[in-house]
Amino acid sequence: MTIYIRHFHLSDARALTDIFYTSIHRVARQYYSDAEINQWAPLPIDYPLWQTKLQHMAPFVAELDNQVAGFMTLADDGLIGLAYSHPRHQKKGIATALYRHLETQARQRGIATLTVNASYLAKPFFAKQDFCVIRKNEIARNGEILINWSMEKHLS
């Protein structure tokens, strides 16, 4: 079982969008209410919007057994904007492989600090990667409050 990390292809957009929605609507339920989930990942899915968003963000894509299994994004300022793996591939090292690749790329680009706004689910993962919590955030969306944590890791 080899995890292969590569750059995004436009043909990945639908699969990555489905991973985002599936991950939130299935896995995040242990931490977030239905109303919160529907604000975070509203249905129906707007695939054209996500295609544009992903094309702009240029994620790193993880493949496992020739199937897209997860993705992570790295902005020029060091922000990890999206970090998701498909529920059927969680606990298989997908996120760790993606993160290691992302950190290597960040160092090569001269990025001094990585930041992330981590959900309840993502917070322990990023803590294991030596990220520190800066603050707890409460984001209001259409009457719902979504909780996440601003975290950072200094690379230098």
> With 90 as the cut, is the pLDDT of residue 107 above it?
yes
Tokens matching residue 60: 């790193």
Where residue 29 falls among pLDDT bands split at 50, 70, 90? Answer: confident
> With 80 as the cut, is the pLDDT of residue 1 above it?
no
The residue ranges of every structural domain in the chain are: 3-111
Largest CA distance in the chain: 44
What pLDDT does 30 receive?
86
- Taking alpha carbons only, the member of 104, 148, 156 closest to residue 126 is 148
What pLDDT does 72 receive?
99
Residue 131 exposed, middle or buried by CB count within 10 Å (0-12, 13-18, 19+): buried
Where residue 114 falls among pLDDT bands split at 50, 70, 90? Answer: very high
Alpha helices in 23-119 (DSSP H): 34-40, 47-57, 94-108
Q: The domain 3-111: what is its CATH number? A: 3.40.630.30
